[in-house]
A and B are shown apart, each in its own frame.
Chain A
Amino acid sequence: GENVEQHPSTLSVQEGDSAVIKCTYSDSASNYFPWYKQELGKGPQLIIDIRSNVGEKKDQRIAVTLNKTAKHFSLHITETQPEDSAVYFCAATSYGEDQFYFGTGTSLTVIP
């Protein structure tokens, strides 16, 4: 099955700086890559996703890039704010597969 690796496991940035979280996947059939934000005591919330037919997607301060050749995708958060502090998970799945494979999570701390 698919194996998703995520780095770094923890990340601290100053407010206003950018944060980048990277994931790699093993199955070239994977074609859908969502990113989730999990705040303390809550379930993961979808923040952005990308499909394999595009290389980049942006939504305000959040962007995701996908390199299918290298099998990696990244989350970019610009102008970070304290409320961005949370655990972020990447995931991957392929058409016809029910299961989403999650990375191990990145704990992001934005220091005011």
Chain B
Amino acid sequence: EPEVTQTPSHQVTQMGQEVILRCVPISNHLYFYWYRQILGQKVEFLVSFYNNEISEKSEIFDDQFSVERPDGSNFTLKIRSTKLEDSAMYFCASGGTGYNSPLHFGNGTRLTVT
């Protein structure tokens, strides 16, 4: 069964550094998402991406965050200058061909900012 893959599984970085989290969505999906989950809390929406542009973003997704789909297969989340509070699990998800298509999540990247 096709799956969403994320790399790395764990990233440790120092405060102020830039990080790039990578995802390969399911190949025929059209909608791409980043969510995050702070330890023990709910899954929170960051951003959705469709037709090569951001379609929706949350308040969390400020100017420090950006997303890109550079080559038609990868989908990346960049945090320009990490803060301690960015420490969380970051999940990439992809959805099919229409609104309300089920989301398929990757196994996440655990980001630790020290």
Contact = CB atoms under 8 A, between A and B. Distances in A.
Chain B interface secondary structure, helix, strand, loop or mixed?
strand
A100 B45 contact: yes
A103 B45 contact: no
B43 A102 contact: yes
Contacts, number: 56
Nearest to A36: B105
A96 interface: yes
Contacts of A55: none
Nearest to B105: A43
Interface in A96-112: 96-105
Interface magnitude class on chain A: 20 to 34
A95 B100 contact: yes
A44 B43 contact: yes
A31 interface: yes
A105 B6 CA distance: 23
Contact of B102 (A34, A41, A101, A102): A34
Nearest to B43: A102
Among A42, A44, A91, A97, the most chain B Cβ lie within 10 Å of the Cβ of A44
B107 A42 contact: yes
Given A44-B91, A104-B42, A105-B42, A98 B105 contact: no
A67 to B, nearest CB: 19
Given A43-B105, A46-B104, A98-B33, A104 B41 contact: yes
A89 interface: yes
5 contacts: A34-B102, A43-B108, A94-B100, A100-B103, A104-B42
